[in-house]
Amino acid sequence: AQSVSQHNHHVILSEAASLELGCNYSYGGTVNLFWYVQYPGQHLQLLLKYFSGDPLVKGIKGFEAEFIKSKFSFNLRKPSVQWSDTAEYFCAVIFLSGYSTLTFGKGTMLLVSP
Amino acid sequence: KAGVTQTPRYLIKTRGQQVTLSCSPISGHRSVSWYQQTPGQGLQFLFEYFSETQRNKGNFPGRFSGRQFSNSRSEMNVSTLELGDSALYLCASTRTGELFFGEGSRLTVL
């Protein structure tokens, strides 16, 4: 079955540390890739997305992600995190076969200490 | 423009009851999807509607059902509630493949 894996369930960082959250998916075909963020008490918001083209995607709030097709990965990065980045981060994939739905990873809870 | 609106935001039910949740998509969006979010399972797809037709369905029992109206508004219904149905139910609408989420309806089953 098509699935999305996020390797870290919880990540704790100090402010100014660099962040990398892993995301892998199991599917050899064409995909659309997303990272969503859910701040405490708020709704899911799109951080960035990849449909095609440059595999290095820049999103909001200084986040970026790199699509590596050979590794089925779409890792999220930020050079220097802030306390306000404390949130849960979800990787999501649309597997483009017929009518496809958005499949989410189980999320990574990021806690940034000031 | 207004975002995805879900009602009610919070509700408490007891086992065996049923519940109906409502979702109003962003104007112009004809596709509506529903997800169940729980701490243990994350976000799990329930179903997707497009132009009043169910286009996809996730792996949930028949107690979970939904529908979409001609104005694209959608409802989902859960019958014979179980304790494990306690969750945040999220609705999302899309027009171009990017999903926009509502704030969710938090259901607690006692």
Of A56-65, A93-102, B41-50, B96-105, minimum mean pLDDT range: A93-102
**Each residue of A76-89: pLDDT tens digit?**
999 999 999 999 99
Percent of chain A with pLDDT over 90: 77
- Inform me whether the pLDDT recorded for A96 exceeds 80: no
Q: Within an 8 Å CB–CB cutoff, is residue B58 touching chain A?
A: yes
Contacts for B73 with CB less than 8 Å, ≥ 6 apart: B22, B23, B24, B25
Q: Do B33 and A101 touch (CB under 8 A)?
A: yes
Q: Which residue of A has its CA nearest to B55?
A: A99
Nearest to B4 by CA among B92, B107, B66, B105: B92
- Tracing tokens 């050899």 back to the chain, one arrives at A28
Q: Which of A43, A92, A100 sits opposite B102 (nearest CB)?
A: A43
Query: What average pLDDT is seen over chain A?
Result: 92
- Inform me whether the pLDDT recorded for A100 exceeds 90: no
Contacts of B102 in chain A (CB under 8 A): 43
- Inform me whether the pLDDT recorded for A46 exceeds 90: yes
Q: Do A43 and B41 touch (CB under 8 A)?
A: no
Mean pLDDT to the nearest integer, A92-102: 78
Contacts 24+ apart (CB under 8 A), A28-32: A28/A72, A29/A95, A29/A96, A29/A97, A30/A96, A31/A93, A31/A94, A31/A95, A31/A96, A32/A93, A32/A94, A32/A96, A32/B97
